[in-house]
Structure 1
Amino acid sequence: MKFPLVAATCLLLAGCSSGGTDQVVVTVDQPVTLADQPVQVKVSGLRPHKAVTVGADAVDQDGKKWHGKATFTADDDGTVELDTAKPAGGTYDGVDGMGLFWSMDPPAGNPDEQSYLPPFDNGRPVEKLEISASRDGKRLASTTVTRQWMASGVTATPLTMAKDKLTGVYVAPKADGSEHPSVLYFGGSEGGVPPMSIPYLLASHGYPVLTVAYFHAPGVPEDLRNIPVEYFATAARWLDQQPGVDPAHVVVMSASYGTEAALLVADHFPALVHGAVLFAPGASGMRSYPHPGAAAWTYQGRPVGLDPIPVNGMNGPVLAVAGSADAAWASQQAAELIMLELDDAHSKFPHEAVVVTGAGHGVGGAPYLPRGTKINHPIVGPYTLGGSRPANESALRQGWTKTLALLKSLS
C-alpha cells in the first residue's frame, strides 16, 4: 500500500557568515508502513557540500528515548539520500538506508545488553520515529515515521488448554475469502508464548499464524522435559481447521531449542506440515532444560535420543538461518548438517542454509529494530547470544526476506 510522500519543512533557517540560508526538507516515501518494510529517507534544501546530521528518535514501551544519528555531506544538489549516502560518522557504518532505525542506542547503559520494544497504541504495537536534520546542534527540519506490526483487520485470539487443548494465540489476517499458507510458530528455551512480533507481521502479510507455548506457561509443563511431539501435531490439526487456512501448505517455524521440535513434527507428520523455517537451529535431540536428566522430547511415549533428527520425511521447503558467531550453540554446523541430510535424502523440495558471518544466536525475526547481543533470559538470567549488532541485523534482513519468499512460493 502506497502512502503520499510527506515532507516536513524546517521552521528554522540556519545562516552562515556569507548570509546564505538552508531551506531544509526531510521526506520519507512511506510515513506509515509495516515495521518490516524499508523506507527511503531524503534530506533536501541543504547547501551543497556542507555537513548535516540526520537523527532518529523513538520512545520504547518503558518510556526510554532511543537515538540514532549519522553525519553526511550534502551532494552538488544540496541533497542527502540515506539509501546511497555513506555517513562520515554516527551510530552505524557504511551505506544503509535503514541504518538509523536499527542502530539507535538507549539513553543509558550498554546497547549490547538492551533491545528496543515498541510501545502499544490501543493494544497494538506501534513505533513512532522522529527523523530530523541538524547542524551544530540546531534542528533544521524533521518528520515522523510510524511503524506498525498489525495491519488493519489482523486479529489475535488467545487459546487455552481447557478450551482448545493448546496454550497460545491465533493471529488471523483480514479475511478475503481465499485460503493461504499458514504458519505454526513456537519459541525456544525461554518458554511461554513467544513474542508476538513475528505472528503479527506474518498475519499482516496475509498468512494465518498459530503460535503456541509448550512449556513454562499455563496448562503446559513448567520445564522443557519430555514434551510430546504429538502436541505440535495437535496444533497443526487445529490450524488446518481455521477459515482462510490452506491445509496443504502449513509451515512450521521456530528458533533455537524449538527448532528440534519443528524438525521432529515436520518429519513425523508430513501430512500436516509442509515446510520448515529454522532460526539458529539444532539438528539433534537434546536433553531437558534447564534441568538435565531427561529427554527434551518424546514421540509415541518414548524419549527422543541425542542422535541427529531424521529429515527424510520432510514434505516441503526448508530454510535454516544461522550465525558463525553463535555463542549459544553451534547453529551454523546444525544448519549445514540439516542441508546435507536433505541432500542425502534426495529431497525434491528447495532447501537452503543462510549462514551470516559474525552473526550470533539472535537471527530470528524481522529487521530494523535495535537488538542487543545479550539478553536477560526469563529462566536462566543473563545470557550471551553472540555476534555483533550489525552482523545480526544483516542476518535478520536476509532471513526475513527469504522467509517471506518461502511463504509466497507456496501461495
Structure 2
Amino acid sequence: MALLMRRCTNIFRINPLVRMSSNSAVRLGLSPASCMFDEAVEIKVSGLSPRQRVELHSELKDDKGLVFRAWASYEADGRGQLDLGVQASDSGTYTGVDPMGLFWSMKPDVPHSKFLKRDASIPQLYSIQASSGGQVLAREVNERHFMAPGVRRTPVRDGRIRGTLFTPPGRGPFPAVIDLYTLGGTLCEPRAALLANKGFMVLALAYYGYQDMPKKVDKLELEYFEEALTFLQKQPEVKQTGIGTVSFSKSGDLALSMASFLPNIKASVCINVSISNVLFPLHYKDMVIPPLSSKMKRITFTDSGIMDIRDVLDDPMAKENLSTVIPIQRATCNFLFLVSEDDRNWNSTYFAEQACNILKAHGKANYEVVSYPKAGHFLEVPYMPQHPSGFHAAVDQVVVFGGEPKVHADAQLDAWRRVQEFFKQHL
C-alpha cells in the first residue's frame, strides 16, 4: 500500500498552477477504478453547479519517466452533472462525445515520444482531475492492468532466445502465439499480456538490441525464429495444433518468412507489414533473401518540416526486386492483413494488395484484408496514446507515421477485436 501511495502521489502533477478546492462537494467517479488496459471506463462528475464550466485533465508517466497528458472542456447539465458518455467536449485534445477521449488523445510532453511499458506485470496509473475557474474540484486514479489475475509472466533466456512468456491461468492446453514487434531494443509486452488474458499463451520475442543481444545487426537468421517456435511448442501448456504469429512493421516480413519456410504456423496477423524483406538480408540454411532497395531522393517533408519516408522503398513487384519478395505462396496458414491507409512509414496498402495477389494467383483463399482509412502506422492495442511521429532507427531521423487521432483510436479498437476473433477461429 505504501508503494501504491508513493506512485499515486508522483503522478498528481497535472497542473501545478491550479489551486486546490478546500471544501468541494464535487465528486469525480471512475467506473471501474481498476480495470484491464483494453477496457473502457465510465467517467462522471457530480455536485457541480447547473451549467458550470469544467475541465477534465488526465496524466500518466511511462516506464521512461515521460509524461503524457490530455484535457477536455465541458459544460455541466442543468442538474450540475457531467457524463462523458453522453455530453460532448467542446475543446481540448479531443471534441465531441467520447467516454475514453482522456486516454487515447494523450500527447507526450516531449514531442515525438512513444509510450513505453517494459514490464506488463506493473499496472499503468492514470491521474484524472476535474477543475473549474483555476480550482481543482476532484481527482481520482484509474489503475489499468495488462495482466489479469492468474496470468503468469516469465522472462525467457533459453539458448539464444530472449523474450517474455505469458501464460493464462489454468493447466491448458492453450493456443499459442509468437508476438513480434518492430525494430529491436524492446518488447511489446502489453499486447502479449492482453492476449494472454484472452486465453492464449504468448511469447513476446526479441530479435536484437535487447538485454545481451547484439545492439546492431547486419543480417537476421530465420533459424533464430525457428528456435523460438520450437521452444514455444515444447511448453507443456501449449495446444499442439499449430502456432499463431502477430507482427507489425519490420517484424511483418519476418512473420511472413516464418509462415513460408517453417512448419506449424497456422495463423498470422500482419499489421502494416511489407511483402518484401527489408533493411537486413534474411538468412535461412543456404538461402539468402536480400532487402528491398530504396531511394532517399523520394523523401518528402510535411508542412511542419517532419520527414516523410512513405515512398522511399522501391516497388517490390518490379522485375529487379522480385528476389526480395517473401514467397508466401508456400505458406499453409491463414493470414489477416490489417492495413492503415494513412501509414506514412511505407505503403502498407500496396504491400497487402500484392500479398493477396500472390496468394490468389496460386489458387489460395487463405487471407483477409481489413483496411482503415486515415489510420496511421502504429496500430496498437485500444486506448494506447497514438504515435503519429517519432524517431526512426532506419533513417536516424524523426519521421511522420500518420493517422488522424480519433479515427486511429477507433481503428485500434476494431483491429483488437479482429485479432482475437481471428486467433480464436484458426487456433
Counterpart in the other structure of 1:58: 60
Count of residue pairs the alignment pairs up: 375
**Which residues of 2 match residues 50-199 of structure 1 at below 5 A?**
50-106=52-108, 108-110=109-111, 113-117=112-116, 124-160=121-157, 164-188=158-182, 190-199=183-192
Which structure 2 residues correspond to residues 257-296 of structure 1 after superposition, within 5 A? Answer: 257-269=250-262, 271-286=263-278, 288=280, 296=281
Contact 2:66 2:110 in 1 (8 A): no
**Residue 330 (str. 1) matches residue 347 (str. 2):** yes
Q: Aligned partners of 2:329 and 2:118: how far apart in 1?
A: 43
Contact 2:387 2:401 in 1 (8 A): no
Q: C-alpha distance in 1, partners of 2:258/2:118?
A: 35
Following the alignment from structure 1 to structure 2, what is the Cα–Cα distance between the partners of residues 329 and 104?
25
CA distance in 1, matches of 2:363, 2:41: 41
1:82–1:96 CA contact under 8 A, matched in 2: yes
Partner of 1:299: 284
Q: Partners of 1:341 and 1:77 in 2: how far apart?
A: 61
**Partner Cα separation in structure 2 for residue 360 and residue 56 of structure 1:** 23
Check 1:387–1:74 CA distance in 2 against 1; reply closer, same or farther (3 A cut): same
**Alignment check: 8 A CA contact 1:30 1:39 kept:** yes
**Deviations for 1:88-129, whole angstroms, at most 9, x for unmatched residues?**
1011133322110122234x443xx12333587xx8332112
- Identity among equivalent pairs (%): 26
Q: Which amino acid aligns with 2:163?
A: V
Tell me, yes or no, if the aligned pair for 1:12 and 1:141 is still in contact at 8 Å. no
Residues 320, 354 of structure 1: 8 Å contact kept: yes
Give how far 1:324 is off: 2.2
Distance in 1 of aligned mates of 2:401 and 2:224: 31
The 8 Å contact of residues 169 and 210 in structure 1, kept in 2 or not, is answered as yes
Q: Encode CA deviations 1:149-197: one digit per residue, 9 max, x unaligned.
A: 223333333333xxx3332224232431221221112233x22453322
Q: TM-score, normalised by structure 2?
A: 0.78
Structure 2, unpaired ranges of 5+: 1-19, 291-320
Query: How large is the RMSD of aligned CA atoms in angstroms?
Result: 2.8
CA distance in 2, matches of 1:231, 1:63: 33
Q: Structure 1 381/151 Cα, relative in aligned 2: closer, same or farther at 3 Å?
A: farther
Q: What one-letter code is carried by the residue in structure 2 that aligns with 1:255?
A: F
Measured after TM superposition, the shift of residue 141 of structure 1 is 2.2
Amino acid across the alignment from 1:38: A
Distance in structure 2 (CA, Å) of the matches to 1:91 and 1:218: 36
Deviation at 1:224, TM superposition (A): 4.8
5+ residue gaps, structure 1: 1-9, 15-22, 289-295
Contact 1:372–1:389 (Cα < 8 Å) also in 2:
no
TM-score scaled by length of structure 1: 0.81
User: Could you tell me how far apart the structure 1 residues matched to 2:211 and 2:60 are?
Assistant: 34
Deviation at 1:276, TM superposition (A): 0.6
Measure, in 2, the Cα distance between the counterparts of 1:154 and 1:344: 43
Structure 1 residue matching 2:255: 3-state secondary structure: helix
Q: SS at the partner of 1:125?
A: coil
Structure 2: distance between partners of 1:80 and 1:249? 49
* Aligned equivalents of 2:65, 2:216: Cα separation in 1: 33
Alignment counterpart, residue 353 of structure 1, candidates 363, 366, 369: 369
Give distance in 2, aligned partners of 1:378 and 1:285: 17
Moved more, 303-312 or 396-405: 303-312
Q: Give 1:314 shift.
A: 3.4
Is residue 397 from structure 1 mapped to residue 390 from structure 2 by the alignment? no
What secondary structure, in the 3-state scheme, does the structure 2 residue paired with 1:67 have?
Answer: strand
| Distance of aligned partners of 1:359 and 1:228 in 2 relative to their CA distance in 1, 3 Å threshold | same
2:398 is equivalent to residue 383 of structure 1: yes
**Structure 1 220/57 Cα, relative in aligned 2: closer, same or farther at 3 Å?**
closer
Letter in 2 for 1:318: F
Determine helix, strand or coil for the equivalent of 2:266.
Answer: coil
Q: Distance in 2 between matches of 1:132 and 1:310?
A: 53
Q: Distance in 2 between matches of 1:205 and 1:186?
A: 18
- CA offsets, 1:252-286, max 9 Å, x none? 121112111111111223x4110111121001233
What's 1:253 paired with?
Answer: 246
Letter in 1 for 2:206: A
Shift of 1:47: 3.4
Per-residue CA deviation, residues 178-218 of structure 1 (Å, 9 max, x unaligned), is 21221112233x22453322222222333211232333457
Check 1:94–1:335 CA distance in 2 against 1; reply closer, same or farther (3 A cut).
farther
CA distance in 2, matches of 1:136, 1:35: 32
